[in-house]
Amino acid sequence: MLQVRKDLMVEIGVTGDAGAGKSSFINAIRGLDDDADGAAPVDVIECTKEPTSFNHPKNPKIKFWDLPGIGTPMYPDLETYRDKVQLGKYHTFLIFSSSRFTENDIILAKEIKKQGKSFFFIRTKIDENVRAEKRKKSFSEAAMLQKFRRNCMENLVDEAGKPICSEDHIFLISNHHPGKWDFGRLTRAILDALPRLCDDDYGAAPVDIVDCAKAPTCYNYPADPNIKFWELPGIENPYFTDLETYRYKVQLDKYDTFDLTLMMTSAQVVETSVTTTDNSPSQDYTHPDDQTIPSHVTLGFKPFTAL
């Protein structure tokens, strides 16, 4: 089982086109009416102006960030949007879309992939589509849903035409009918894709979430007591803006050799001399006690395969 450190908070950016139903989804998953106290504001006109956070109803380690929509006068293009909503600070994303597949949908998906992060793609307002399409005699709900899925897959591709999203990461929902279509599968997928917290195996390397290693963390190498792995944070995470900050904070020159992981998430460092705790590499970051790697966990982060 994959484990994470207990102090890890997972920040999910809820993003997408203006009016796609981002805030409505947050209310629906939290079981709140749109006009309830503490609900995310929902409106027929541009509504969410600043990123606002909301707790997950079941898992206190998960935070949803209700982001403004892209493509409005306030956030007309990707550059403005990325800077103003600080797209780089979220661990993973839910991209919301309604009606037609738009240029912004693909721009956002590509940007998130470029950052080495993952997303679920959510097509909302399925209830409206069903209602409108039912007027046709030939209407088949299953065929319509299949058409939506195919349309998403055809559009969520990179420059070479390769898919950037797997089909099971596409969800067709209505925020007004959480009991129907893919809403339940989506809520389960959000919980399932996130690292589980389990005291039994505490000590395993954190996995699945980009930049989850914020502090250098030491692991024993089971085959040789003179070797220690220091798992370092990825340089491209928001806590280390440039090389100088990174070099200083992780004390890059104290390690004997390096194993560069070609993901943006982290690098492992092999230190062949024994390190004592008063030689910890950074004062700003806590060093958990040495942790033994259970045999079923390999060092290194996966490239964001889950959510």
Ligand X SMILES: Nc1nc2c(ncn2[C@@H]2O[C@H](COP(=O)(O)OP(=O)(O)OP(=O)(O)O)[C@@H](O)[C@H]2O)c(=O)[nH]1
Distance in Å, CB of 48 to ligand X, minimum: 3
Taking the C-alpha atoms of residue 266 and residue 244, their distance in angstroms, rounded to an integer, is 17
Q: Is 23 in the site for Mg ion (CB under 5 A)?
A: yes
Alpha-carbon torsion 84, 88, 94, 97, what sign?
positive
According to CB under 6 A, which residues from 77 to 116 bind ligand X?
96
Contacts of 192 (CB under 8 A, 6+ apart): 306
Q: Is 129 in the site for ligand X (CB under 6 A)?
A: no
According to CB under 6 A, which residues from 169 to 198 bind ligand X?
174-176
Count CB neighbours of 114 within 10 A: 11
Distance in Å, CB of 46 to Mg ion, minimum: 8
Q: Is 46 in the site for ligand X (CB under 6 A)?
A: yes
Q: Is 127 in the site for ligand X (CB under 6 A)?
A: yes
Distance in Å, CB of 44 to ligand X, minimum: 4
Q: Is 48 in the site for ligand X (CB under 6 A)?
A: yes
Closest CA relative to residue 105, chosen from 116, 120, 115: 120
Q: Is 237 in the site for Mg ion (CB under 5 A)?
A: no
Among 48, 129, 175, 237, binds Mg ion (CB under 5 A): 48
Distance in Å, CB of 199 to Mg ion, minimum: 37
Q: Is 20 in the site for ligand X (CB under 6 A)?
A: yes
Q: Is 125 in the site for ligand X (CB under 6 A)?
A: yes
User: For 259, what's the count of Cα atoms within 13 Å in the CB-facing half-sphere?
Assistant: 12
The phi and psi torsions of 257 (rounded to 5 degrees) equal -155, 165
Give which of ligand X, Mg ion, none residue 5 binds (C-beta under 5 to 8 Å, depending on kind).
none
Give me Rg for the CA atoms of the chain: 22
Count CB neighbours of 253 within 10 A: 7
The phi and psi torsions of 33 (rounded to 5 degrees) equal -70, 155
Q: What is the DSSP letter of 284?
A: S
Distance in Å, CB of 59 to ligand X, minimum: 22
Size of the site for ligand X (CB under 6 A): 23
Q: Is 18 in the site for ligand X (CB under 6 A)?
A: yes
Give which of ligand X, Mg ion, none residue 127 binds (C-beta under 5 to 8 Å, depending on kind).
ligand X
Taking the C-alpha atoms of residue 55 and residue 62, their distance in angstroms, rounded to an integer, is 6
What SS3 state is found at 90?
Answer: coil
Instruction: Determine the length of the chain.
Output: 307
Which of residues 37 and 244 has its CB atom nearest to ligand X in the complex?
Answer: 37
Q: Is 266 in the site for Mg ion (CB under 5 A)?
A: no
Distance in Å, CB of 195 to ligand X, minimum: 27
Among 47, 186, 218, 250, binds Mg ion (CB under 5 A): 47
Give which of Mg ion, ligand X, none residue 290 binds (C-beta under 5 to 8 Å, depending on kind).
none
User: For 204, what's the count of Cα atoms within 13 Å in the CB-facing half-sphere?
Assistant: 21
Closest CA relative to residue 58, chosen from 123, 10, 24, 16: 10
Among 92, 104, 118, 124, binds ligand X (CB under 6 A): 124
Count CB neighbours of 83 within 10 A: 11
What does the binding site for ligand X look like in residue numbers (CB under 6 A)?
A: 18-24, 42-44, 46-48, 68-69, 96, 124-125, 127-128, 174-176
